[in-house]
Amino acid sequence: MRPEGPESVPGYEIRPFRTLAEYRECVELQEATWGSGFSERVSVAILKVSQRLGGVASGAYDDSGRLVGFVFGMTGWEEGEPAHWSDMLAVVPALRDTGIGRTLKWHQRRVLLERGVKRMYWTFDPLVARNAHLNLNRLGVVIREYAVDMYGDTDSPLHRGIGTDRFVPVWHLDSPRVLARWEDERRRRAGEPAGAASVPVPPEEITSVLDFVRHGSGIGPDEPRLDQDAAVLAVSVPSDIETVQAASLEMAVAWRTATRAVCLHYLDRGYEIRELVRGEPCSRYLMFRE
């Protein structure tokens, strides 16, 4: 019997979709998450066919058999090796921040490793700090790529007014960094003291290249600094971009413009993003020389 680990969570079953009804429930959850009639939704046919060709289409079910989350991705080849692109992950609003999203990612990893796939990609918005925390701090991805307006204009209300710039993280599924995060997660779920998956960086060794300034009750980006070459750089982002966006779309666009300039500049110069230091009202990405 497989030992309990981050791939499972008490009270929920994580497994591939099996029936047409389950595939249809996945489509319904996509629309509930990204908006009714969302044009980028993945159809029943693609969900089903992807599993035959090495993709992952799995759901999280509660004790009543209700679908509460799902993950979907496709497997292909890059530079002569198998690689996976994780296209969608969603959890019903009432159960977000409960660990189900992380569990779906660890399940996806286990399935791919069993098939010999050791590298996974996906995208997330650089301005959404809670996703950055999950991806960098809890899963152990690294970021070396920034895609400007990756998906163009979409009809999802989540993308209103600030475009679809995205980080493209890479998850090296069997790397020491990821294995340390897996063990950290296992310890947390077992009620044991978590290990030190990441090494803290002394504040004096960090050089800020984008800070924040206050504008009345709101926050905006300071002037980007594009002339630094320190070993560790910090890039501020709002800890809650949705609140900024609701209060001032103009300020949210200013954050997009500033973070785009900084990230493109330093990633192109060989830095990579490895950690997010959480804080209020802003969190900070830490960029390291590769």
pLDDT per residue over 212-248, tens digit each?
999 888 899 999 999 999 999 999 999 999 999 999 9
Residue found under tokens 């992952």 = 56
pLDDT surpasses 90 at 195: no
What is the structure's pLDDT at 255? 97
Mean pLDDT across the stretch 191-216? 86
Q: Which distant-in-sequence residues (6+ apart) come within 8 Å of 254 by Cβ? A: 220, 221
Domains in the chain with CATH codes? 13-189 (3.40.630.30), 204-289 (no CATH)
Mean pLDDT across the stretch 239-259? 95
What's CA 241's distance to the chain center, in Å? 15
Which DSSP string do the residues of 91-148 spell out, in sequence order? E-GGGTTSSHHHHHHHHHHHHHHHTT--EEE--B-TT-HHHHIIIIIII--EEEEEET
Given a contact cutoff of 8 angstroms between Cβ atoms, the answer to whether 109 and 162 are in contact is no
The band of 3, judged by pLDDT with boundaries at 50, 70 and 90, is very low
**pLDDT: which is higher, 159 or 147:** 147
pTM, to two decimals? 0.91
pLDDT surpasses 60 at 167: yes
Q: What is the mean pLDDT of the chain?
A: 92
pLDDT surpasses 90 at 16: yes
pLDDT surpasses 90 at 25: yes
Alpha helices in the chain (DSSP H): 20-34, 44-52, 100-114, 129-132, 176-189, 241-247, 249-268
What is the structure's pLDDT at 156? 52
Q: What is the Cα gyration radius of the chain?
A: 19
pLDDT per residue over 180-191, tens digit each?
999 999 998 888
In whole angstroms, what is the distance from residue 193 CA to residue 97 CA? 20
Residue type, 119: R
pLDDT surpasses 80 at 177: yes
Mean pLDDT across the stretch 84-105? 94
In whole angstroms, what is the distance from residue 220 CA to residue 245 CA? 11
Mean pLDDT across the stretch 90-108? 93
